[in-house]
A and B are shown apart, each in its own frame.
Chain A
Amino acid sequence: MDETLRQSGIEIIDDVPWGTHFCQFYQTRQDLLDILLPYFKTGLEHNEFCMWVACEPLSAKEALEAFRQYLPGLDRYRATGQLEIIPHTDWYLKGGGFDSQRVLNGWVEKLDRARAQGFDGLRLTGNTFWLEKKDWKDFVAYEEEVNHVIGQYRMIALCTYSVDGCSAAKVIDVVSNHQFALSKRDGKWALIESSEHKRAMEAVKASEAKYRSLFDNMIDGFAYHRVVTDAAGKPADYVFLEVNSAFEQLTGLKGAEIIGRGAREALPGIEKDPADWIGVYGRVALTGKEARFERYSAQLGKWYSVLAYSPKQGYFVTVFEDITERKRAEEALRRSYEELEQRVQERTVELTRANEELETEIAERLQAVEDLRRANAYNRSLIEASLDPLVTIDAGGKITDVNLATQEATGLSRSELIGTDFSSYFTEPEKAQAGYLQVFREGSVKDYPLEIRHRSGGSTPVLYNATVYRDEAGKVLGVFAAARDITERRETERRITVTNDLLKLYTRKFSHKEYLDVAVELVRAWSGCRHIGVRIVDDKGNIPYEACAGYNPEFLRSENELSLTNDRCICIRVIAGTPEFRERAAMTPHGTFFCNDTTKFVSELTDKQKTQYRAVCMQHGYTSLAVVPIRHRERIIGAVHVADERPGMVTPRNVEFIEQLSFIIGEAIVRFGIEEELRQLNRELEHRVADRTAQLEAANRELEAFAYSVSHDLRSPLRSIDGFSHAILEDYAPLLDDTGRGYFERVRAAAGKMGQLIDALLNLSRLTRGELNRASIDLSPLATAVAEDLKRAEPGRRAEFVIGKKVVAEGDAVMLRVVVENLLSNAWKFTAKREAARIEFGTLECTLHSRDALVNAGVNGMRNAESGMKSPERCGQGKTVYFVRDNGAGFDMAYAGKLFSAFQRLHSREEFPGLGIGLATVQRIIHRHGGTLWAEGAVGKGATFFFTL
């Protein structure tokens, strides 16, 4: 039922939906009454709040009078506040003038209040006779607004306009702002409808008709009601609002006669019916809780099965069927059953009485026995229910009782066990005996470890708790012993040990191969499987066994040939991650294939499937088989292969654990792989360094040997030159004139010079051989001593030595002495022509600051020179820089590169005598110390030699 569709009460309109806004053109008071009285009567009867805003020519008072005459029960509605008739001055013009917004809000407020009071909506009318010309425009706007928004509200509005007050233009205004209009034509009311409204109404009607037919064709009766409550809010009656044809058939009531009427009226006496229809339905309508029941209606003389529910507060729907026939049949059945029951009961009473006496007697006798049995059974069931093997032993160590768990642990029955030696069921009978003797002696033992032997050969590790038990007099009767199976605990401990051992292997410096060998042995010892192998994918795509134990050599030979790409077998597919469909069923989520009966597995394959297996494992009799992939990150890098001749050796739990281990193994393999690669690289690098060093050393040795041998060989002829010149001068002098003797003197002098040169060369060569003994040396006293020697040799010179205090160096004492001597002698020699020579020896810290100091000292302004192309900027932060500075002849930086080469001279020998080998020697020594030597200078401006060590 479309509840937005309301009866209009107006003959030519029939039903309209909520939100209808229409108008009436009238001429007389009677015109108004013709339409408005049935309009409001219908509204009142359908629980709508009705509001009549009256105006001339029909005042509020007149309207009320006319309505009272038309509807005798009208005051009842007024009393409940369902009807208000008020003058237009109290509504439209309230507050002095027309305000469209206030009026609109007023309607909405009225509607809200009406809804709050339980009314379905608001039905209203307003007369516009009061409208003056000045208000017309506002009112048209108001009507337009009403027309626009009324669709949202549960409101029906009828506006009445006097035909005489409307010009043609006004008529158009009015009609266009309403959905339709009523107007009298030829003494009859007619409808003026806009085409749009018409179409909408037709659509509504069509759907209504469709719905209606569905509704009427229902087999179940259907009725829609509104509950009427009394002053206390209790349900007092209900009004029929809608019924379908099935309702009429099932009740015999006619819809036309009862709709709009109360149940008390339609079904007299209903309020007294013990079924309490009004109360039941009232509760449904008021609480919203649906009810289902079967009930007899006294008024209709029928049984009904009813479903009542409330679509909204205060309303309810009943859907029901007539079950009178069924009820009658049930009633007949019930009666005949009752009769039968009656007869059985009578018979039973007789029998019972006879039995009772007998039973009393038996019961009394049994009671005593029963009490005892019950207590025993309870205790017994406790013992049997125990998962722990329980046993009682007598003083002689014989078993007196066992429970089920003991039978399971030994594989022997109760009768086989009782009366036999307790200790004979353990792997260590003496220890078992010692145990129960201890109990007899001390009263109890706790956590006594033993292993129960099973007849099949297996054993169960247990911990025993046992105590003695006594009779009432306190005499010891025997021992009660309870064992706790610790297989699980021990297995967990073993797993932890295996895991820890594997992890520990990491830290030891094993090679990859050593690691896998130990890992294989660990898994083998833990799993009890005879054949364990670790296969790793190599760079050729083969999967050889990197480590294994227990396989025979032929098996390994054939397996090690396998390549990931060419061969077909389960190991390969596990590692490649491409199992066959058939295998997936035997695989774990980790990707492990395992099978506890390979023969059975293969026998279930089709011939075609068999070609996918090499069956090498099977040929070697491996019945239990598992291939656990070894992963590193997500990549499969190999597999652990587990095999055994006995079936059932790879349980899912064991497989799961090997899977866990495989992660550790995978990680280790990769780690060892990387380490080995690094070691290999290091070895190669070291090799290359060593080779290169050896080459360089050999080259150096050769060079030195060459230098030595050259200088050595030079001495021999030189000795002849010097020796024979000497002999001539000594023995043959009188045979020569002065010039001849002079020439021989020159030969001798030249030979002497050459001897010195050769000695210097030999010294230079010697310096680069031999050990370098580093120590911390204070160079200051050394430099001072050298300075003293120099000054003593030429006492006539004016020279100042400025020697820094505590100039400490790390190096070879002998060699550093040579450095200081050479540099100071050099400075001494080249300042010979200065009026006042100044020679400094000291240190600088090579920092940014010290470089500034160098610049300030005027030395960095000159270009620096050193044969090794090093410069102070590159000497390294924080390193000590030693320097010897003089104000001597200096040198041209353009030739700075030649400074440190042996026998190179920048000045003529006549100007500054010397061998030209001192600085070369200094440079060799500095280089041997891993240091740097460089010089700065300018012609006539002195020179500074810097070095680091």
Chain B
Amino acid sequence: MQQTILIIDDSEDDVLLTQMVLSKLGRKISAESALSGEEGLAALRDGAALPAMILLDLKMPGMDGLDVLRAIRADERLCRIPVIIVTHSDLESDKAASYRAGAAGFLNKSVDLDSFTEEVGRTIERCIGGKPCR
């Protein structure tokens, strides 16, 4: 069964690169994307089907990653979707704030592409499989 992953990131380049990475994992995954927090949240709320997982950037104009994460966790219907923070930051403080807000994982996208691809693969294996993250 094809699973859907939603990428919320304001950088088109990064969305593109993430989709490229996902396509290389050799799994039946379809990737959807939103280029801002607001857009991503609207897509989640309006969409009939929910994604299996969300890859969420932290630093975005308007609603940032943490705002989006909190909104998801506050939403009865959405709260069970695992959210993985994918960011350029390697700050402990960002990591801690993300986990406190209910993130299921924290990935640094600054590492080289091969390492990033491996990380993403491991995370998807851990999180997808119908197991609720909360």
Contact with A along B83-109 (1 / 0, CB 8 A): 000001110000000000000000001
What separation, in Å, do the CA atoms of A717 and B13 have in the docked complex?
A: 8
Q: Is the CB of A719 within 8 A of B13?
A: yes
Contact of A755 with B110 at beta-carbon distance under 8 Å, contacts A712-B88, A712-B89, A719-B88 already known: yes
Q: Is the CB of A723 within 8 A of B110?
A: no
Residue of A712, A723, A762 touching B113 (CB-CB under 8 A): A723
Q: Is the CB of B17 within 8 A of A716?
A: no
Cβ of B20 < 8 Å from any Cβ of A?
A: yes
Contact with A along B115-131 (1 / 0, CB 8 A): 00000000000000000
What separation, in Å, do the CA atoms of A762 and B88 have in the docked complex?
A: 12
Residue of A716, A723, A724, A752 touching B88 (CB-CB under 8 A): A716
Chain A: residues with Cβ within 8 Å of the partner, total of: 14
Q: Which B residues lie within 8 Å of A727 (CB)?
A: 17, 20
Q: Residue on B with the closest CB to A717?
A: B13
Cβ of B11 < 8 Å from any Cβ of A?
A: yes
Q: Which of A703-762 contact B (CB under 8 A)?
A: 712, 715-717, 719-720, 722-724, 726-727, 752, 755, 762
Q: Which A residues lie within 8 Å of B46 (CB)?
A: none
Cβ of B14 < 8 Å from any Cβ of A?
A: yes
Q: Which B residues lie within 8 Å of A752 (CB)?
A: 112
Q: Residue on A with the closest CB to B87?
A: A712
* CB of A31 to closest CB in B, whole Å: 152
Q: Is the CB of A722 within 8 A of B14?
A: no
* CB of B120 to closest CB in A, whole Å: 13
Q: Which B residues lie within 8 Å of A715 (CB)?
A: 88, 110
Q: Residue on B with the closest CB to A720?
A: B13
What separation, in Å, do the CA atoms of A719 and B13 have in the docked complex?
A: 9
Q: Is the CB of A719 within 8 A of B14?
A: yes
Contact of A716 with B11 at beta-carbon distance under 8 Å, contacts A722-B112, A722-B113, A727-B20 already known: yes
Q: Is the CB of B17 within 8 A of A720?
A: yes
* CB of A542 to closest CB in B, whole Å: 58
Q: Which B residues lie within 8 Å of A716 (CB)?
A: 11, 13-14, 88
Q: Is the CB of A719 within 8 A of B110?
A: yes
Q: Which A residues lie within 8 Å of B90 (CB)?
A: 762
Q: Is the interface of B mostly helix, strand, loop or mixed?
A: loop
Residue of A712, A724, A755 touching B13 (CB-CB under 8 A): A724
Q: Residue on A with the closest CB to B88?
A: A715
Q: Which B residues lie within 8 Å of A726 (CB)?
A: 113
* CB of B15 to closest CB in A, whole Å: 11
Contact with B along A246-275 (1 / 0, CB 8 A): 000000000000000000000000000000
* CB of A744 to closest CB in B, whole Å: 14
Q: Which B residues lie within 8 Å of A719 (CB)?
A: 13-14, 17, 88, 109-110
Q: Which A residues lie within 8 Å of B109 (CB)?
A: 719
Q: Which of A545-569 contact B (CB under 8 A)?
A: none
What separation, in Å, do the CA atoms of A719 and B114 have in the docked complex?
A: 12
Q: Residue on B with the closest CB to A709?
A: B59
Q: Which B residues lie within 8 Å of A720 (CB)?
A: 11, 13-14, 17
Q: Which A residues lie within 8 Å of B17 (CB)?
A: 719-720, 723-724, 727
* CB of A747 to closest CB in B, whole Å: 13
What separation, in Å, do the CA atoms of A712 and B110 have in the docked complex?
A: 9
* CB of A212 to closest CB in B, whole Å: 134
Q: Which of B15-69 contact A (CB under 8 A)?
A: 17, 20
Q: Which B residues lie within 8 Å of A755 (CB)?
A: 110, 112
* CB of B88 to closest CB in A, whole Å: 5
What separation, in Å, do the CA atoms of A852 and B29 have in the docked complex?
A: 74
Q: Which B residues lie within 8 Å of A723 (CB)?
A: 13, 17, 20, 113
Q: Which A residues lie within 8 Å of B112 (CB)?
A: 722, 752, 755
Q: Which A residues lie within 8 Å of B11 (CB)?
A: 716, 720
What separation, in Å, do the CA atoms of A762 and B92 have in the docked complex?
A: 13
What separation, in Å, do the CA atoms of A489 and B4 have in the docked complex?
A: 103
What separation, in Å, do the CA atoms of A723 and B113 have in the docked complex?
A: 6
* CB of B95 to closest CB in A, whole Å: 14
Q: Which B residues lie within 8 Å of A722 (CB)?
A: 112-113
Q: Residue on B with the closest CB to A714?
A: B88
Q: Which of A179-203 contact B (CB under 8 A)?
A: none
* CB of A211 to closest CB in B, whole Å: 129
What separation, in Å, do the CA atoms of A712 and B90 have in the docked complex?
A: 9
Q: Which of A850-896 contact B (CB under 8 A)?
A: none
What separation, in Å, do the CA atoms of A722 and B88 have in the docked complex?
A: 14
* CB of A760 to closest CB in B, whole Å: 13
What separation, in Å, do the CA atoms of A722 and B11 have in the docked complex?
A: 15
What separation, in Å, do the CA atoms of A790 and B99 have in the docked complex?
A: 39
Contact with B along A135-168 (1 / 0, CB 8 A): 0000000000000000000000000000000000
Q: Residue on B with the closest CB to A731?
A: B20
* CB of B99 to closest CB in A, whole Å: 20
* CB of B7 to closest CB in A, whole Å: 14
* CB of A638 to closest CB in B, whole Å: 60
Contact with B along A565-578 (1 / 0, CB 8 A): 00000000000000
Q: Residue on A with the closest CB to B11?
A: A716
What separation, in Å, do the CA atoms of A932 and B33 have in the docked complex?
A: 53
What separation, in Å, do the CA atoms of A589 and B98 have in the docked complex?
A: 84
Q: Which A residues lie within 8 Å of B13 (CB)?
A: 716-717, 719-720, 723-724
What separation, in Å, do the CA atoms of A715 and B113 have in the docked complex?
A: 13
* CB of B98 to closest CB in A, whole Å: 16
By CB atoms of chain B within 10 A, which of A715, A719, A722, A726 has the most? Answer: A719
Q: Residue on A with the closest CB to B109?
A: A719
What separation, in Å, do the CA atoms of A724 and B11 have in the docked complex?
A: 14
What separation, in Å, do the CA atoms of A748 and B90 have in the docked complex?
A: 22
Q: Which A residues lie within 8 Å of B14 (CB)?
A: 716, 719-720
Q: Residue on A with the closest CB to B114?
A: A726
Q: Which of A17-39 contact B (CB under 8 A)?
A: none
* CB of A696 to closest CB in B, whole Å: 22
* CB of A730 to closest CB in B, whole Å: 9
What separation, in Å, do the CA atoms of A913 and B79 have in the docked complex?
A: 51
* CB of A721 to closest CB in B, whole Å: 9
* CB of A363 to closest CB in B, whole Å: 127
Q: Which of A364-394 contact B (CB under 8 A)?
A: none
What separation, in Å, do the CA atoms of A752 and B113 have in the docked complex?
A: 11
What separation, in Å, do the CA atoms of A170 and B110 have in the docked complex?
A: 151
* CB of A333 to closest CB in B, whole Å: 137
What separation, in Å, do the CA atoms of A715 and B14 have in the docked complex?
A: 11
* CB of A275 to closest CB in B, whole Å: 138
Q: Residue on B with the closest CB to A723?
A: B17
Q: Which A residues lie within 8 Å of B88 (CB)?
A: 712, 715-716, 719
Q: Residue on A with the closest CB to B17?
A: A723
* CB of B117 to closest CB in A, whole Å: 10
What separation, in Å, do the CA atoms of A778 and B13 have in the docked complex?
A: 49
What separation, in Å, do the CA atoms of A240 and B27 have in the docked complex?
A: 172
Q: Which A residues lie within 8 Å of B89 (CB)?
A: 712
What separation, in Å, do the CA atoms of A612 and B96 have in the docked complex?
A: 81
Q: Which of A807-831 contact B (CB under 8 A)?
A: none
Contact with B along A680-718 (1 / 0, CB 8 A): 000000000000000000000000000000001001110
Q: Residue on B with the closest CB to A725?
A: B113
* CB of B90 to closest CB in A, whole Å: 8
Q: Which of A762-813 contact B (CB under 8 A)?
A: 762
What separation, in Å, do the CA atoms of A755 and B111 have in the docked complex?
A: 9
What separation, in Å, do the CA atoms of A154 and B17 have in the docked complex?
A: 150
What separation, in Å, do the CA atoms of A143 and B11 have in the docked complex?
A: 149
**Cβ contacts A to B, 26 pairs, < 8 Å:** A712-B88, A712-B89, A715-B110, A716-B11, A716-B13, A716-B14, A716-B88, A717-B13, A719-B13, A719-B14, A719-B17, A719-B88, A719-B109, A720-B11, A720-B13, A720-B14, A720-B17, A722-B113, A723-B13, A723-B20, A723-B113, A726-B113, A727-B17, A727-B20, A755-B110, A755-B112
> What 9 pairs across the A-B complex have the smallest Cβ distances?
A720-B13, A723-B17, A715-B110, A715-B88, A726-B113, A723-B113, A712-B88, A716-B88, A727-B20
Instruction: List chain A positions with a Cβ less than 8 A from chain B.
Output: 712, 715-717, 719-720, 722-724, 726-727, 752, 755, 762
8 more contacts with CB within 8 A, not counting A719-B109, A723-B20, are A716-B13, A716-B14, A716-B88, A719-B13, A723-B13, A724-B13, A752-B112, A755-B112
